[in-house]
């Protein structure tokens, strides 16, 4: 036990690797009959929304900027990936690079806007961008299939090997772990400190030599790149997208992900994504009486947001605090007993 | 001994609407000196401060600074965030630290401009980024030791006593290897003992880190105690300049502070 603790303490991101390994065992568990096939789909959903959530957490949690345009960028990434792989037959990895870079470029332009407007106004502006993108998805039906939607395949690696759902899931787990480690590293370094300083006080940031233009653009760039990457993962796993899926509701759900999971915590978006996108499907729908209620997931999320904001502003993970306290007390008591015995 | 100039203010003028907050003000600070800028409420001290640190752009006048590489530059042509690179760093009257970070990390923010690696080096934890971080942490720990805050280095800033926060902010300025530290009312909110300690600390900083200090201050005890020379202003104009003793005897300064006899 002590040994395991030591591994985690010396390299903090061993947690993420451990979590990733656990996650990639899920498809095997399904083949052994321990998990439903639908559970795998739900967990896959949790994975790509976690990636998107980590990006929004960098933007809102660490940098103090807001965006309600997440869904639009996610949609942009997914439609581009679908078009590039299905209609243009581009190799998978090339398509990923293009479908992340173009939304990234759009995101940087939004970043420029954020220098001029702040707070609610920025939220509304980003919401507008997202709605424009949604309208584009509907109108440009040669590229996006319009209302009837657009389908895609599982990722085809090196032009030969098309992955099945199990391997796609494992690939997604790896991407999530890499994203978590990468973000963990730059958040706990100069970039993360610059974000937090900018969030705390712009004048302090300026006095410390932090270039606001550069760091606001970086924050928006990361958020949109992660959102687009989440969209790419989505389209190659769910294999179908239609325009109404990329509405403001989704943006708000992703906002709920980071509020419930805990802002300024690297694992917050993962926990939040599991609660917002996993729990209603996996648990609430199994409960007999309430499973019939329409929009159960929304009610659940809404109630949870209120509870979290009122009682656990640092995220739902704090619900575990009483248990932690109990364990610590238990340990202390045991130690005391031991020392008493030793004295005797 | 010939004294090198560190900061020279030439004919600085700043107006807000029709009001002249600073009116044709000039003074000069020499290297390795503790200089005080004093004046009654509304004298324009903070405006001068903001004009030096480029939070405001003055309407007229020059702010000539002898920078780290010993070149005279006019700060007015620089952007706010570029000032610190030249060797001029400020503190805030209402402490502006980051509550979510530890004392050590708050100091590292002060070294922001000394980092060379970007987000990709940091995200991938390449050797260059790791070495740089270790180097900066050592520097920050040394400064925390100097400030006698080493034991608290991993504690969060939130909830620390006021005196500690003031020290951390001073420590953060030291991280940037400054030539000139400019302090906005450092004694505000401190009691008499703490003010005396602050005076000692400022002297130690000058000795240990070989820098010049400009105090913009309301508190006369601190200014008279620690400054080599003082400039007194009122309504944006210079009343007098000289040693603390000379300023105390200056008739015009007395009038500005105490009013004229009827």
Q: What is the pLDDT of residues B151-191, one digit of tens each?
A: 999 999 988 998 899 999 999 999 999 999 999 988 888 88
Residues of B within 8 A of A207 (CB-CB) are 53, 80-81, 83-84, 89-90, 92, 96
Which pLDDT band, with edges at 50, 70 and 90, does A3 fall under? Answer: low
pLDDT at residue A228, as a whole number: 96
Do the beta carbons of residue A56 and residue A229 sit within 8 Å? no
Range 199-228 of A in CB contact (< 8 A) with B: 200-201, 203-212, 218
Residue A5 has pLDDT above 70, yes or no: no
The topology (CATH level 3) of A2-313 is: ABC transporter involved in vitamin B12 uptake, BtuC (1.10.3470)
> E strands, chain B, where?
5-16, 19-30, 34-38, 60-66, 72-74, 88-90, 180-184, 212-217, 229-234, 237-242
Nearest CA of chain B to the CA of A178: how many Å? 10
Give the pLDDT confidence score for residue A10 in this predicted structure. Answer: 58
Beta bridge partners of B217: B38
Domains of chain A by residue range: 2-313, 316-344
> Which H or E run contains B161?
none
What angle (nearest 5°) sits at the alpha carbon of residue B67, between those of residues B62 and B71? 85
Q: In this structure, what token pair is assigned to residue B175?
A: 């991280």
Q: Does B186 touch chain A (CB under 8 A)?
A: no
* Position with higher pLDDT, A274 vs A114: A274
**How many CB atoms lie under 10 A from the CB of residue B129?**
23
- Given this model, what pLDDT does residue A344 score? 67
Give whole-number Cα distances, A128 to A70, A250, B78, B202, in Å.
11, 14, 36, 52
The residue among B235, B236, B240, B198 whose CA lies nearest residue B219 is B198
The pTM assigned to this predicted structure is 0.90
- The DSSP bridge pattern shows strands B229-234 and B212-217 to be unpaired
In this model, does residue A1 exceed pLDDT 60? no
Per-residue pLDDT tens over the stretch A181-238 = 999 999 999 999 999 999 999 999 999 999 999 999 999 999 999 999 999 999 999 9
Average pLDDT value for residue range B120-125: 88
What is the value of ipTM here, to two decimals? 0.92
B115 pLDDT band, cuts 50/70/90, is very high
CA distance A196 to B102: 12
- Which tens digit of pLDDT belongs to each residue from A232-269? 999 999 999 988 889 999 999 999 999 999 888 888 99
Please answer yes or no on whether A189 and B129 come within 8 Å at the CB atom.
yes
SS3 A102: helix
- Give the chain A residue whose CA is nearest to the CA of B79: A206
Residues 6 or more apart whose CB falls under 8 angstroms from that of A339 comprise none
Which pLDDT does position A126 carry in this prediction? 92
- Residues of chain A with C-beta less than 8 angstroms from the C-beta of B119: 186, 191, 218
For the stretch A30-81, pLDDT in tens is: 888 888 888 999 999 999 999 999 999 999 999 999 999 999 999 999 999 9
Q: How far apart are CA B198 and CA B104, in angstroms?
A: 21
């Amino acid at each position: 036990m002590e040994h395991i603790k030591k591994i985690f303490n010396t390299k903090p991101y061993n947690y993420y690797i451990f979590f990733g390994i656990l996650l990639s065992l899920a498809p095997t568990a399904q083949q052994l009959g321990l998990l439903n096939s639908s559970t795998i789909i739900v967990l896959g959903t949790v994975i790509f929304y976690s990636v998107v959530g980590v990006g929004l957490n960098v933007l809102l949690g660490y940098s103090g900027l807001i965006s309600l345009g997440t869904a639009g960028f996610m949609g942009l990434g997914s439609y581009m990936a679908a078009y590039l792989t299905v209609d243009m037959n581009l190799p998978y990895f090339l398509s990923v690079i293009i479908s992340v870079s173009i939304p990234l470029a759009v995101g940087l332009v939004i970043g420029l806007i954020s220098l001029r407007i702040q707070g609610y106004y920025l939220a509304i502006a980003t919401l507008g961008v997202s709605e424009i993108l949604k309208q584009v998805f509907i109108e440009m039906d040669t590229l996006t299939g319009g209302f009837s939607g657009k389908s895609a395949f599982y990722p085809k690696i090196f032009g030969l090997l098309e992955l099945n759902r199990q391997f796609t899931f494992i690939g997604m787990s790896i991407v999530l772990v890499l994203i978590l480690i990468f973000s963990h590293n730059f958040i706990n370094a100069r970039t993360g400190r610059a974000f937090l300083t900018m969030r705390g006080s712009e004048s302090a940031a300026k006095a410390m030599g932090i270039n606001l233009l550069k760091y606001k653009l970086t924050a928006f760039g990361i958020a949109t790149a992660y959102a687009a990457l989440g969209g790419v993962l989505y389209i190659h796993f769910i294999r179908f997208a239609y325009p109404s899926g990329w509405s403001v509701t989704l943006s708000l759900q992703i906002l709920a992900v980071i509020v419930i999971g805990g802002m300024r915590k690297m694992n917050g978006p993962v926990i939040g994504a599991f609660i917002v996108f996993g729990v209603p499907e996996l648990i609430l729908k199994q409960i007999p009486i309430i499973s019939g209620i329409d929009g159960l997931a929304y009610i659940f999320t809404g109630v949870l947001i209120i509870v979290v904001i009122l009682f656990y502003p640092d995220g739902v993970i704090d619900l575990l605090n009483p248990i932690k306290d109990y364990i610590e007390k238990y340990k202390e008591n045991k130690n005391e007993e031991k020392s008493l015995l030793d004295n005797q | 001994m010939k004294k090198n100039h560190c900061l020279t203010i030439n004919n600085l003028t700043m107006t807000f609407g029709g009001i002249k907050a600073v009116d044709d003000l000039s003074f000069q600070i020499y290297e390795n000196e503790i200089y005080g800028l004093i004046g009654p409420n509304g004298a324009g001290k903070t405006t001068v401060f903001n004009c030096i640190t480029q939070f405001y752009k003055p309407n007229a006048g020059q702010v000539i600074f002898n920078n780290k590489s010993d070149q005279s530059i006019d700060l007015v042509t620089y952007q706010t965030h570029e000032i610190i690179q030249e060797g001029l760093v400020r503190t805030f009257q209402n402490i502006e630290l980051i509550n979510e970070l530890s004392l050590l990390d708050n100091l590292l923010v002060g070294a922001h401009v000394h980092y060379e690696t970007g987000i990709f080096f940091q995200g991938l934890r390449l050797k260059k980024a790791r070495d740089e971080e270790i180097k900066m942490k050592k520097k920050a720990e040394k400064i925390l030791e100097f400030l006698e805050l080493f034991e608290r280095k991993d504690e969060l800033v939130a909830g620390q006593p006021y005196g500690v926060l003031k020290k951390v902010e001073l420590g953060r300025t030291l991280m940037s290897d400054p030539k000139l530290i400019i302090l906005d009312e450092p004694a505000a909110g401190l009691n008499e003992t703490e003010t005396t300690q602050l005076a000692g600390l400022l002297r130690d900083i000058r000795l240990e880190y070989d820098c010049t200090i400009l105090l913009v201050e309301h508190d006369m005890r601190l200014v008279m105690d620690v400054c080599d020379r003082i400039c007194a202003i009122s309504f944006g104009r210079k009343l007098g300049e000289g040693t603390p003793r000379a300023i105390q005897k200056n008739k015009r300064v007395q009038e500005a502070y105490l009013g004229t006899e009827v």
